[in-house]
Amino acid sequence: MATAVAPATAAAAPAAAVRDDYEAMAKLLRDVSSLSSISGLVGWDEMTMMPEGAAESRAKMKSALAGVIHEKSCDAALGEVLAKLQAANLDQLNQFEQATVREAARDYKKLTAVPKELAQREAELESKGYQAWVKARQASSFEQFAPVLQEWVDLRREKAALVDPSGPVYDTLLDDFEKGMTSARLDEIFGEVKAGLVPLLAELRERGTPPSDAWLKGDYATERQADLCHKIAVALGFNLEHGRLDVSVHPFTGGAHPTDVRMTTRFKQDDLTEGITGAIHETGHSLYEQGRNLEYDGLPVNQALSMGVHESQSLLWERMVALGRPFAAYLLPLMREYFPSLPADKSAEELYGAVNVVKVPSMIRVEADEVTYPLHIVIRYELEKALIEGSIQVSDLPKLWTAKMSEYLGCEPESDARGVLQDVHWSAGLFGYFPTYSLGAMYACQIYKAAEADLPGLSDDIAAGKFGRLKLWLNEKIHRVGSLHPSGDELMKAVTGAPLDPQVFLSYLKDKYTELYKL
Amino acid sequence: MATAVAPATAAAAPAAAVRDDYEAMAKLLRDVSSLSSISGLVGWDEMTMMPEGAAESRAKMKSALAGVIHEKSCDAALGEVLAKLQAANLDQLNQFEQATVREAARDYKKLTAVPKELAQREAELESKGYQAWVKARQASSFEQFAPVLQEWVDLRREKAALVDPSGPVYDTLLDDFEKGMTSARLDEIFGEVKAGLVPLLAELRERGTPPSDAWLKGDYATERQADLCHKIAVALGFNLEHGRLDVSVHPFTGGAHPTDVRMTTRFKQDDLTEGITGAIHETGHSLYEQGRNLEYDGLPVNQALSMGVHESQSLLWERMVALGRPFAAYLLPLMREYFPSLPADKSAEELYGAVNVVKVPSMIRVEADEVTYPLHIVIRYELEKALIEGSIQVSDLPKLWTAKMSEYLGCEPESDARGVLQDVHWSAGLFGYFPTYSLGAMYACQIYKAAEADLPGLSDDIAAGKFGRLKLWLNEKIHRVGSLHPSGDELMKAVTGAPLDPQVFLSYLKDKYTELYKL
């Protein structure tokens, strides 16, 4: 009320305003986050619990909730407080709070750039695209799918021009999945991957001796597999107080909140390895979710940094841990306990070999192993980038697909269904998503190397079924850090001392497989 | 655009406006309904699936969703269109559409009468009240509970004065649970119930010979009970395409939508009868939900008319069907199939007797049978009405409770815990809720008599395990009719030709139990 203000107060006033603005922003964001949590729960229910005849009412529920979340995310009040914070000096906020402002402003700008009418067209094309893809794949006819794919290309270009009129279109799309990544950097990374893996794969195929995995074939009751994997998930650190394990047709990790993580698995009677590695993969995602930093609960800084970083956590546990030599020593006695019919004369070393056979010819991405998988991704990246940039046309895809498969993987698909139509992603307009799978694998490898350096005796721990130190290390270095860093490269620098280096990944594969394949 | 308008168009213009307004209202209401469906699903999940450690995040999710539902329910746009519709001639709308306008306006008026600040105090008192009740009951000390109960009485009076300044306070509260019912009418109804039941119960106790139920005591694996009840629920008509059956600590029927009804049951190893009748009770609720009229999906006319009418459907199946003589002929062979240890020499007639033993002394409402239950309700009704009207004080309750128990039921509670503190309702400020339990029982009895008249051979159907005709009759007469009628009495007139008549219920009990007790 006084007009004469002491200097100290004058300096403090804007500081107090920043704190107030921050809290006002946080409250709005937390409400949206709680509604998004509900969305996660509803999605889990749909995949695991919902009766068949409820699909129509469920679609209406989801649409109503999505509408509310969109309204609240684009709330003008949120925009105003974000504008104030972006214009202010944020020094008094800690680094997590500053990152929250940065991430919230980024999300708000992206969301409000897209008019409702365009969002509506996207939603319609999603459903139309999925149906067209299912039919085209059944008929194994890319031509049937081509028109809807063209619609997606056009719509994505239209959207990207609204979100960022100046940047390369593909980079704008990529940013939705792998924040801070660019196509220039991906060209570098995938160029190295291709240069390293194509000759390695050829050598393994031509001169290598695959380990024997025939003895692992058998008949494994799915209930027993589920029990075994429940035990392994808990041993790795899955917290049943803050999550559930269920079975669903497509395994996934979802749920409502770090304190309510819903992980699902799937088991096939004739494939024990796939059931176990799939469950461990989902456990890796779950440990990330359960490990998120509750101090910043409901704020963007507490979200996973990117799809690639999330995938790094599933793949670290699946590939770096579960497909590693020490884990076989832990797993073999457990497998024998649950499936006494397993041959008694096999060693942990033989199990390590059996689960690491490179599956060639490798036609289908989702069936690929760690050596062939990145090449599937390179193919998709090169094609979708060229498509979005306009240097190739939709109609060019089948021929180019076949040519690249032949060049990189040494095999050609016998049909569109098992070739260019095998993945659902493009039918949903997901361009920029595929690269995150292999970024995840490379992040995982580099992170695991850093963990080994930080945690002496890690291999002995794993062989003894002790996973606690590694889990805590990941909690601290990755999970609790959330979206503090603006990109995967920055996170890599903080955790491993260097940005992502594909050579770490390539050396790992080369060392592992030249030894396993006796080269 | 033309200024000269032909008479026909002039007349049509307001009619088109009414239809447009109706559709605009319906769209707003359906969106709220979809969000309420989500709320139902989230509630089910909390009771059946949620991991323990998620309680805190779940509370935030529910609060955010409730906030959105409240905002949308009180939306000014909804108020405006409702005001226009209420002022218009609605002749061109059909009776369901007219009832939708009536019900929507009623709900809107009630909701908007209560300021956010009062709603907030209610929410706080709910949690405080529950905790106080749990502690007081543990200590068996009504004095510990009295202050919070007084807060509820004050708050409910304050709210009722806002919702309807002119009417009796208790009637305003009652209207939330049993639309169109008044305390004057309840005085009549419960007066007759008391006059009929007190002497009947005394006679059964003093001169009757209870049927034997000792042979039904035993050890029944709960998984087998669940399987048996699953089979019975499906036989009665529960549609698994539009619902799920699960197990929870407190059995209930909830879920998202008529196409997604979630029913839960609970089983005790030492009580087969309670498991079966409980499951059939919930099946009755579920059949109502699954039978709702999808033509008016998401609109208030499609809601159940009242708590009492909903309860009439659970109790019709539980008491009129499952505790009736014909059902025993269907049930006994089924029970034997699932539990071969049951004595082989018992007849359906003996099963009918065994499940209809009046449990005296009757201290606890939730353990009471159909003869004693209504007297528990009369006691609660008389006390809560007097409390709200101010003719008795909170501190009078324990003494009055004991006196009424003695007078009506012939027994006195040994403690507050087993007396005035036995029910959770008042701790949540639920005054006017208790009467609906016994209204439901009386509606059920009168509806069942009408069904017997309409469906010759119904008893034979039931004995043969054929429930389809009765279910379809209830679908048509009750479930699809929803909230078309403004009160339970009006529904009774439409279905049975007369308003609720307690004498129908009293005659049924008198006939059944004088025969069973050989009087």
Per the structure block, which two tokens stand in for B209? 């010979």
Chain B residue numbers touching A28 (CB-CB < 8 A): none
Query: Is residue B43 in some structural domain?
Result: yes
Query: Rounded to a whole number, what is the distance in angstroms from the first to the last CA of chain B?
Result: 83
pTM surpassing 0.90?
Answer: yes
Q: Closest-CA residue in chain A for B67?
A: A31
Query: What are the residues of chain B with a beta carbon less than 8 Å away from any beta carbon of chain A?
Result: 30-31, 34-35, 37-38, 41-42, 45, 49-54, 56-58, 60-61, 63-65, 67-68, 72, 239-244, 256-260, 297-298
DSSP-derived secondary structure letter, A242: G
From the list A51, A239, A260, which residue is nearest B243 (CB)?
A51
Structural domain includes residue B505: no
Indicate the average pLDDT of chain B: 95
The one-character DSSP state at B394 is G
Segments of chain A scoring below 70 in pLDDT: 1-14
Do the Cβ atoms of A54 and B242 come within 8 Å? Answer: yes
- Select the residue of B45, B56, B64 nearest A35 (Cβ to Cβ): B64
Taking the CA atoms of residue B54, residue B55, residue B60 and residue B62 in that order, the dihedral angle to the nearest 10 degrees is 110
pLDDT at A8: 42
Which of B97, B151, B178, B282 is catalytic? The answer is B282
Is B306 among the domain residues?
Answer: no
With respect to residue B76, please indicate whether it lies within any of the assigned structural domains.
yes
Say if the Cβ atoms of A257 and B57 lie within 8 Å: yes
Comparing alpha-carbon positions, the chain B residue that sits nearest to A38 is B61
B262/chain A closest Cα distance in angstroms: 9
Beta strand pairing status for B253-257 and A243-247? unpaired
Are the Cβ atoms of B34 and A61 closer than 8 angstroms?
yes
In a domain, B62, yes or no: yes
The size of the A-B interface in CB pairs under 8 A is 117
Instruction: Report the pLDDT averaged over residues B303-332.
Output: 98
Q: Do A58 and B240 touch (CB under 8 A)?
A: no
Q: Would you list which residues of chain A are within 8 Å, Cβ to Cβ, of chain B?
A: 30-31, 34-35, 37-38, 41-42, 45, 49-54, 56-58, 60-61, 63-65, 67-68, 72, 239-244, 256-260, 297-298
Shortest Cα distance, chain A CAs vs residue B44, angstroms: 11
Tell me the nearest-neighbour CA distance from B260 into chain A, angstroms: 5
| A41·B30 Cβ contact <8 A | no
User: Can you tell me the distance from the alpha carbon of B23 to that of B480, in angstroms, rounded to the nearest whole number?
Assistant: 21
DSSP-assigned letters across all residues of B206-260 = HH--PPP-GGG-S---HHHHHHHHHHHHHHHT--GGGEEEEE-SS--EEEEETTE
Contact list, B61 vs chain A (CB under 8 Å): 34-35, 37-38, 41, 256-257
pLDDT of residue B69 exceeding 50, the answer is yes
- What pLDDT does residue B9 have? 40
Q: In this model, does residue B3 exceed pLDDT 90?
A: no
For the cut 60, the answer to whether the pLDDT of residue B13 exceeds it is no
Interface mutation target, options A29, A30, A37, A72, chain B, most CBs of B under 10 Å = A37
pLDDT in tens, B194-239: 999 999 999 999 999 999 999 999 999 999 999 999 999 999 999 9
Question: Which long-range CB contacts under 8 A does A141-148 form with residues at least 24 apart?
Answer: A141/A416, A142/A397, A142/A398, A142/A416, A142/A420, A142/A421, A145/A421, A145/A427, A146/A394, A146/A395, A148/A427
A176 and A432 Cβ atoms separated by less than 8 Å:
yes
B45 to A41: CB separation less than 8 angstroms, yes or no:
yes
* Kind of pairing between the strands at B260-265 and B253-257: antiparallel
Q: Which of B30, B54, B239 sits opposite A242 (nearest CB)?
A: B54
Say whether B282 is catalytic. yes
SS (H, E, C) A270-298: CEHHHHHHHHHHHHHHHHHHHCCCHHHCC
A242, B51: Cβ pair inside 8 Å?
A: yes
Q: Please state, in angstroms and rounded to a whole number, the distance separating the CA atoms of residues B75 and A423.
A: 44
pLDDT digits (tens, 9 = 90+) for A121-177: 998 999 899 999 999 999 999 999 999 999 999 999 999 999 999 999 999 999 999
Distance from the A500 Cα atom to the nearest Cα atom in chain B, whole angstroms: 35
Distances (CA, A) of A130 to A136, A366, A413, B116: 10, 18, 22, 44
A34 neighbourhood in chain B, CB within 8 Å: 60-61, 63-65
Query: Which residue among the candidates A97, A122, A178, A282 is catalytic per the annotation?
Result: A282
Contact A34 B63 (CB under 8 A): yes
Is position B374 within any domain?
no
Tally of structural domains, chain B: 1
B75 inside domain: yes
Q: What are the tokens at A519?
A: 């080269």
Q: In terms of Cα–Cα distance, which of A106, A92, A38, A479 is closest to A300?
A: A106
Pair A178, A437: CB distance under 8 Å: no
Are A244 and B51 within 8 A, CB to CB? Answer: yes
What mean pLDDT is predicted for residues B179-201?
97
**Do the Cβ atoms of B65 and A31 come within 8 Å?**
no
CB contact under 8 A, B239 and A53: yes
CB atoms within 10 A of CB B76: 8
Measured in whole angstroms, the distance separating CA B304 from the mean position of its chain's CA atoms is 10
Question: CB distance A244–B53 less than 8 Å?
Answer: no
Longest dimension (CA), chain A: 89
Number of other residues whose CB lies within 10 A of the CB of residue B130: 14
Q: Which domain holds residue B96?
A: 7-113
CB pair distance less than 8 Å for A54 and B30? no
State pLDDT tens for residues B133-177.
999 999 999 999 999 999 999 999 999 999 999 999 999 999 999
**A437: closest CA of chain B, how far (Å):** 30
Q: Which residues of A touch B54 (CB under 8 A)?
A: 242, 256-257, 259-260
- Number of CB atoms found within 10 A of residue A12's CB: 12
Sheet containing B260-265: order of strands: B243-247, B260-265, B253-257
Chain A environment of B242 (Cβ under 8 Å):
51, 53-54
Nearest CA distance, A178 vs chain B (angstrom):
28
Whether B204 is in a domain gets the answer no
Distance from CA of B234 to the nearest CA of A (A): 14
